[in-house]
């Protein structure tokens, strides 16, 4: 699994002109799933994300986790994280897991975050989403397992 983790002041997802998810301060997590991924990867990445120290403490150091900062997470599936653009001009997406495999793993990742105590909102799997992100910092971290 591949994650792009962005610290945000606020974020939302709109589908067909309807806002389906919205958070205040926290993390937007774009999630891509590969064909070799399974529940262990989803669980490990949820633990890593919840405890990743990318929020400032009183001294201005990146020393607090999402849980310590009291933030929320917005989890958005994004198969394009597995794009291969090495050849030609059109990316290939054959490195991404099929939707039947990816959807339950994205859901498992979101549930694992919830189980750790993180308030989680999600995008809509396979929908054309407009994701509005107000980056904070900006702080953007790539995680892969």
* Identified catalytic residue from 80, 93, 130, 140: 80
Which residue out of 14, 49, 78, 121 is catalytically annotated? Answer: 78
Concerning whether 93 is annotated as a catalytic residue, the answer is no
For residue 92, give both structure tokens.
């290939």
Instruction: Catalogue the long-range contacts made by 57-66 (C-beta closer than 8 Å, 24 or more residues apart).
Output: 62/139, 66/26, 66/27, 66/118
Query: Which of 6, 55, 79, 121 is the catalytic position?
Result: 79
Question: Residue written as tokens 């953007």?
Answer: 140
Q: Is residue 100 within 8 Å of 125, Cβ to Cβ?
A: no
Provide the pairing of β-strand 26-32 with 2-15.
antiparallel
Structure tokens at 144: 């892969």
Cα 115 from chain centroid (whole Å): 16
Active site residue 41: no
Mind telling me the catalytic residues?
A: 78-80
């Amino acid at each position: 699994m591949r994650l792009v983790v962005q610290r945000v002041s606020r974020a939302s997802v709109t589908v067909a002109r309807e806002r389906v998810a919205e958070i205040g301060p926290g993390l937007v997590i774009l999630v891509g799933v590969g064909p070799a991924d399974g529940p262990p990867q989803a669980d490990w990445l949820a633990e890593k994300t919840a405890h990743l120290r990318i929020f400032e403490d009183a001294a201005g150091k990146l020393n607090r986790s999402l849980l310590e900062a009291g933030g929320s997470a917005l989890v958005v599936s994004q198969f394009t994280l597995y794009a291969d653009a090495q050849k030609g001009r059109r990316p290939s997406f054959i490195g991404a897991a099929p939707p039947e495999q990816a959807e339950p793993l994205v859901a498992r990742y979101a549930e694992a975050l919830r189980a750790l105590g993180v308030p989680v909102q999600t995008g809509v799997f396979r929908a054309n989403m407009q994701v509005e992100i107000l980056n904070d910092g900006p702080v953007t971290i790539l995680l892969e397992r």
